[in-house]
Every structure is written in C-alpha cells, then in structure tokens.
C-alpha cells in the first residue's frame, strides 16, 4: 500500500470533514464527511479550484495561498507557522448556503499537498445564542411579574378611588361635568392594567390536542388576507407530508398571526414594491432547541420582502416594548415567543433588506 493510498483510506474513514488540495489550491480529494457537509460529490469537483465549492473570507483565502506558496518553495514545514487554524470563518457555498466553520490546514510536504480539516460551528453558535436568548427572556419575565405586582396594586387603588369619587359627584352634583374626569381616570387605569396583563403574556397552560399544522396556517392565511385584501401577495409553500402532532391550535394561530401582522405593517408602511408574504412549513431532523436535541421538529417560516429589521434592535425584538415601528406596542413578538416557549419551541429571525424570515420551531410530538 502506498503512502498516498494510506492517507486516502484514513481520511475517508474520518467523521471530520477533510479535503485535500495541491499547491495550486486545486481539489484532489474530499472525504464522505466533506461531501455531506458541502452537498457536493468528489467526482464533480476533483481537479477544480477550491473556490469551485465555496467562497472564503479574504483572510482565509490569503492564508491558504501563503501555505501553498511555502509548499512550492519547500520551506521548513516543521515551523509553527506551517500549520494553522482559523475560527468562525464564513463560507458561501456553491448552492447558496452560508456556513460558519473552524478549519485547520496541515501541509503534507512529501506529496506537495495541503490537508484541510473542517469543523462546522453554526450549530454550536446557534445553540449558545438560543441559550442566551431563553435565559434572557426568563429573566425578563421575572422582572415583568415583579413590576406587574407593583404597578397593578396602586392602579387598583386609583381606580377604586375614582369610582367612589364618581358616585359622590353623581349623588351631589348630578348635572356636573366633573364625571368626565373620573371616567378618564378609570379608563386610563384599565388601559394600564390591560397593558401590564399583555406584557405578562399567556397565563393559561397550552391546551394541546392533535392538530394539522396546515389548518393553523390556513387560518392565519385567511385572517391576513381579510385584513390586507389585495394589497399584499400571499403565497403558501407547505410540506404535505407533515403528520398531525399535539399542540394548542389557538396559541399557534395567535403567535403566527402576531408575526404575520408585523410583516403586513412593515410592508405597507414602507411602501414596498410588489409586497409579498410566504407561509412555509418543513420538517427538521435532529434539531437542537436550547440544550435539548429533538429527533423531529416542525418548522414554520413566515417570509416577507420588506425593508428588514433595523440592526440596532435586531437582537432585542423579542423583548417587551421593543419595536421598529413608531406606532408599535413592542408586545406582539414577545407574546408570540412566550406562546411558542410554552410548547417547548422557539422563534428565530433572520433579516436583511429585501427579506425577513421568522422561523417557528416546534418539537414534534406525534398525535395519538
């Protein structure tokens, strides 16, 4: 067995994605793990430049070129600079996907090759981000509960005093206009109480029953259509193979509708050309939410072609009172997230000018 064939056998049996390039950065070998990660076959790219399968960050490409140059010059590859690692580098793949990877480059001097080990880190980055989001939302809920107690008690006293005053005015000065002022006090106290209740979010546990997720989406579709008419083009992209599972239909409708209405308002308020909203359903396999790995997850996407979310608030849109709209209450997405959290799920947002996608992830529990 030659040395090169031994390398090939060892590489092909590795679970880590590994590819080999020559001194001109042409692809010479991809192991099965790389083919799976990059969604490409070795036979279709062997001999092609490495840029045939992905575009690299400029710093990553320069580092590879320097390694190839050293290889051609037969420099001292035992030096620490010969082998290197770059972390959290974004690669734009041939199929349009973007992945974040850590990769290590090791020169194989005797064969004039560079061995590149690739470790995708998107999943770990996402898991850490979700853990931070979930923890922050729980802290926020605890603060809101404490604030609600401190606010609602004095509001109850104010409202009660205003009612007593109104009765006194009615009995002593039946024709007085002063009752208008007491009515304002009562109405505003009620409005503040309702606002606090909305900030608290759902107080009842989810009433889970077997449902078809597309019945939920069709209900949302019809409600949005009724509200915006023909001002916005609505479309569906469903996976009909998704079976029934257990969830609270009313809560899922409310959460999805909150997201959909935000999209409608963003499109109309910004006078978006050819405004569109797409409702999409998919199944995700082996998907992690927080720290828990789920064999199956139902993914619901609501995609619009609006202006996108302001970067200044993009990380905070699920917190109470955060809104990108002047007239927004900043509670719709908070309530939606809490409703989905009750199902053990999560909402994520990916936004850029021209495309905003809110994704709802619901752990899949097959209906009995």
- Domain residue ranges in the chain: 3-120, 125-200, 209-363
Select from 3.30.565.10, 2.40.50.180, 3.30.70.100, 3.40.50.300 the CATH code of 209-363.
3.30.565.10
pLDDT at 214: 95
Residue 61 has what pLDDT? 67
Tokens 């729980």 label which residue?
A: 138
pLDDT at position 73, please?
65
Q: Quick one: pLDDT at residue 324?
A: 60
Which CATH number is correct for 3-120, 1.10.443.10, 3.30.450.20, 3.40.50.300, 1.10.260.40?
3.30.450.20
pTM: 0.62
Burial status of residue 358 (CB atoms within 10 A of its CB: 0-12, 13-18, 19 or more):
buried
Would you give per-residue pLDDT tens digits along the chain (368 residues)?
Answer: 344 677 788 888 888 899 998 888 899 899 998 888 888 888 888 888 888 887 765 666 677 777 777 766 654 444 444 788 888 888 888 777 888 888 888 888 777 888 899 988 877 777 777 777 777 767 777 777 777 777 778 888 888 898 898 888 888 887 777 778 888 898 888 888 877 776 666 666 778 899 999 999 999 999 999 988 889 999 999 999 999 999 999 999 999 999 999 999 989 988 999 999 999 999 988 788 877 888 889 999 999 999 998 888 877 787 766 666 555 556 788 888 888 988 989 898 888 899 999 999 999 865 54
Pairing of strands 209-211, 245-247: antiparallel
Q: Which residues contact 298 (CB under 8 A, 6 or more apart)?
A: 213, 242, 245, 281, 282, 283, 284, 361, 362, 364
Which pLDDT belongs to residue 3? 46
The whole-number pLDDT of residue 93 equals 83
- Which pLDDT score, from 0 to 100, does residue 321 have? 63
């Amino acid at each position: 067995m030659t040395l090169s064939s031994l390398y090939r056998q060892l590489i092909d049996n590795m679970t880590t994605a590994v590819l080999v390039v020559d001194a001109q950065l042409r692809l010479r070998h991809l192991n099965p793990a790389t083919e799976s990660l990059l969604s490409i076959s070795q036979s279709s790219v062997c001999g092609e430049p490495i840029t045939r399968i992905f575009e690299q960050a400029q710093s990553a490409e320069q580092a590879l070129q320097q390694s190839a140059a050293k290889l051609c010059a037969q420099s001292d590859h035992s030096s620490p600079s010969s082998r290197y690692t770059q972390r959290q580098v974004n690669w734009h793949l041939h199929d349009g996907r973007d992945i974040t990877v850590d990769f290590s480059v090791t020169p194989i001097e005797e064969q004039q090759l560079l061995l590149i080990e690739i470790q995708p880190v998107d999943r770990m980055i996402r898991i850490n981000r979700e853990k931070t989001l979930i923890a922050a939302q729980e802290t926020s809920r605890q603060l809101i509960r404490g604030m609600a107690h401190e606010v609602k008690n004095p509001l109850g006293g104010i409202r009660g005093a205003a009612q007593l005053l109104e009765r006194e005015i009615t009995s002593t000065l039946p024709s007085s206009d002063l009752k208008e002022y007491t009515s304002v006090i009562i109405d505003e106290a009620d409005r503040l109480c309702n606002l606090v209740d909305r900030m608290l979010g759902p107080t009842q546990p989810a009433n889970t029953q077997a449902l078809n997720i597309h019945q939920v989406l069709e209900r949302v579709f019809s409600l949005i259509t009724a509200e915006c008419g023909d001002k916005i083009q609505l479309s569906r992209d469903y996976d009909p193979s998704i079976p029934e599972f257990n969830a609270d239909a009313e809560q899922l409708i409310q959460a999805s509708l909150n997201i959909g209405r935000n999209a409608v308002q963003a499109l109309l308020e910004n006078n978006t050309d050819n405004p569109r909203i797409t409702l999409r359903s998919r199944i995700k396999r082996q998907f992690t939410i927080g720290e828990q790995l789920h064999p199956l997850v139902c993914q619901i996407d609501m995609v619009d072609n609006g202006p996108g979310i302001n970067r200044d608030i993009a990380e905070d849109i699920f917190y109470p009172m955060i809104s990108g709209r002047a007239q927004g209450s900043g509670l719709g997405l908070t309530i939606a997230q809490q409703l989905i959290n009750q199902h053990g799920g999560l909402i994520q947002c990916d936004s850029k000018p021209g495309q905003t996608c809110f994704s709802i992830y619901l752990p899949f529990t097959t209906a009995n």
